[in-house]
Chains A and B, each alone.
Chain A
Amino acid sequence: MNGPLALTGKEKGALILAALNREACALGLSIGMKLADARAREPELAAIPHDPEADRQWLERLTRHCERYTPLVAAEPPQSLILDMTGCLHLHASEKGLAQRIEDDLDALGFSCNWAFARTTDAALALARYGLKEGAEAQLPVAALGMDARIVQALERAGLYRIGDLSSRPRGPLAARFGAEMVLKLERLLGEEDRPVNPARRQSMIIAERRFAEPLGHLDSVEQILAELFAEASLQLEERHQGARHIAMRLFRCDGHIARLAIETGAPTRDEGLFARLLAERLDSLHDPLDPGFGYDLVRLAIIHAEPLKMRQVTDDGAQEKHTEEAALLSQISIRLGRERIRRFTSADSHIPEHALTSLPALEPPLPFSWEKPPAGEPPGRPLLLFDPPQPISVMAEVPDGPPRRFLWKKQMHLVTRAEGPERIASEWWRRRKGYLPGKGGLTRDYYRIEDSDGRRYWLFRHGLYGSEKERPDWYVHGRFA
């Protein structure tokens, strides 16, 4: 975005500037200024609400990005990253070359950065924040200590403006006057004391594998090996208090062919019995059965996705039991039919009848929803079974905009004995391009609940208002009441 831009945050009910781009800084605006004041000076200033959560997420992504330079990367919110290069520098030409590379990489991602090398993390952080380089610690302002404003003010009142002013003084009196914490931070800044980096390490994927000198030729033994591998993996899962949700398996045949199997479970699990059952189900329902050929020489099992699972607990009530039973059954059926084929209903926000039919795979966590119950004594207003898409019928009515008298559906004539309607359902014209213009908003539907002479009830509709929307509206049967 070109031009001055500010992100605004709220403080004491007023909008203040939380971040500025270069153009805005160049105009003399500063962080902490009220948005109203800033606008008075610069009416062109664009302002967007500040989203600290998005910042945090970006920082996390950058942390992961920087793992290519060193395995020890820590995020230092709100806007810093610490890279511990100990033992990694020999991989790069020089410190300077490395810093240049990181800067270029970040630039490619659209970020500009300040960087500094130092012996300790706090020193590096402070130097980078104030745009200085290694060895310039003495020039840092006392605010770089990161103490609260009161202490910074006290230091400045005492005539101590820079870190250099502090470093030469005896530590005892400083600690007595400004607190031991200040002295600790000073020592960290000066490189006399270090704090450990707490790197953001992702937990590695759990992988269990087994190699065979003599290839496995039998599926039974493959099944058994996989069960053993899962038992190994579940020990690691237990340490992490997790259970597997998605397990991927690869069978490497000695002629180079790789067979891939996956199991998705309805709830996190470490249950070996369940795994064996699901695996048997998986192998049983493969379209293309496994062919061991010359045998498998490597079998690998990986936990792709795991979720927290507490230690197994013995409870008296059957609630827990019931839940796990259901999850196990859902996993088993999902493997047989496919994940998308076993579902539960969810509500949808639409008044168009066919859009109100929504559902989620049963393996996904259910969403809470509520349905209105019709008033007591009322017959059902909606059909039990819905045709999607609606099926065309030809209708004879007494008057073109009245209820149908008889209709022909699938070569069968139905005589209408009772009818109620119309229930008029307008199209969702606001979802259409230029839907607000007459004739562009889509056709209105007039729904009738009817009963035929056989005692069967249907839901019919006329597509389009007679005369105003359509000359000869089509009719459809949309559903079947019980």
Chain B
Amino acid sequence: MACWSIEHKVNKLDSNLSQEQLDISALRRLLPGDRLPADTACFSLGEATIDKSLGGGLPIGGLHEILAAEPGDYGIAALFSLLLAQRSARAGRPFFWIGEDRGSAKYGHLYPPGLADMGIDLGRILYASARDPLQALHVAADALRSAAMGAIILSLSGKKPKGLDMTASRRLSLFARESGVPIFMLRDQLSTLAGTAWSRWQVISAPSHPLEADAPGSPVFDVELIRHRGGKEGLSALLEWDREKARFAAHHRPVSAVPTHREDVGGADYREQRKRA
């Protein structure tokens, strides 16, 4: 049905446009689900530039995927999803972390003092641990359908978690749109699995701005939008979390403090560094 209507529109388009003009973005603009209706509720990240590029923010009733670039970046990706959940959850409603046993054995358990240190309201977190991804997906769907939760974070580990396919992803998207509850699917590695997520973010842990005596500073998120239903792929930014104002802020790499002998390892290009390793 959907196929037919696209085809139909393409045919109509064909009569008006030359073949060169018919590029993929023109097609994408035609798809009904891809443009936000004007009255869609959105949440912003709080950082002006990125919010502007996103056109106001991300829709609250939607599925958003947060992928760690490598398993080692799981921590920062988890924090990114928690903070997005906190920003998007309706006031007074809890946000719900759904993990699975294998994931918490591998990456550790959520640690309340650390969450509090990032300004996350511990009284609002509920967390569940499922036995396997299938169960986790089921619980997430249940939680999405009820409007009791403010936001949901579903953490799945592994290359291809069992049960996570196009159907499951579409179900989650649909439920999220119906109930207006956002769901953040946190993955510990990049994935090429098709999905119906509104946005897909890749998160890398970037070196922090060192404090006195070369102490590690606050976390720095190197985020890149690798898929977006509104066609905003490729958007990337270095972000920090502003705990006092509960919003993201741009991270400015210091214009070279005192150069140290370690600069080549800890400094400018950690991505290059990783590639070499």
Contacts and interface: CB of A to CB of B under 8 A. Distances in A.
Interface residues of B, number: 67
A345 to B, nearest CB: 5
B129 to A, nearest CB: 5
B126 interface: yes
Contacts of A384: 75, 78-79, 110-111, 114-115, 118
Interface in B194-242: 204-208, 210-211, 213-220, 222
Nearest to B138: A336
B61 interface: no
Given A479-B111, A481-B75, A419 B215 contact: yes
B215 A420 contact: yes
A453 B116 contact: no
Contact of A457 (B74, B78, B205): B205
B130 A329 contact: no
Contact of B75 (A344, A362, A376, A385): A385
Contact of B112 (A366, A371, A482): A371
B154 to A, nearest CB: 13
A39 interface: no
B75 A449 contact: no
A214 interface: no
Majority DSSP secondary structure for residues of B touching A:
mixed
B270 A454 contact: yes
B41 interface: no
Given A384-B111, A450-B216, A455-B207, A342 B128 contact: yes
Contact of A380 (B92, B107, B117): B117
A329 B142 contact: yes
Interface centre among B107, B127, B216 (most CB of A within 10 A): B216
B93 interface: yes
A374 B120 CA distance: 12
B252 interface: no
A387 B111 CA distance: 9
Contact of A482 (B76, B148, B222): B76
Nearest to A319: B92
A379 B112 contact: no
A386 B109 contact: yes
A388 interface: yes
Interface centre among A347, A379, A455 (most CB of B within 10 A): A455
B215 A418 contact: yes
Nearest to B113: A382
A60 B208 CA distance: 64
A150 interface: no
Given A325-B146, A383-B114, A384-B79, A454 B208 contact: no
B108 A481 contact: no
Given A337-B139, A341-B128, A451-B208, 9 more contacts: A353-B113, A357-B109, A384-B79, A385-B108, A386-B114, A418-B207, A420-B211, A455-B205, A481-B75
Interface of B: 72-76, 78-80, 92-94, 107-119, 122-123, 125-131, 135, 138-139, 142-143, 146-149, 204-208, 210-211, 213-220, 222, 243-244, 262, 265-266, 270, 273-274, 277
20 contacts: A328-B146, A341-B129, A343-B126, A344-B123, A344-B125, A344-B126, A357-B109, A383-B75, A385-B74, A385-B114, A415-B265, A418-B210, A418-B214, A418-B215, A453-B270, A455-B205, A456-B75, A480-B107, A481-B75, A482-B75
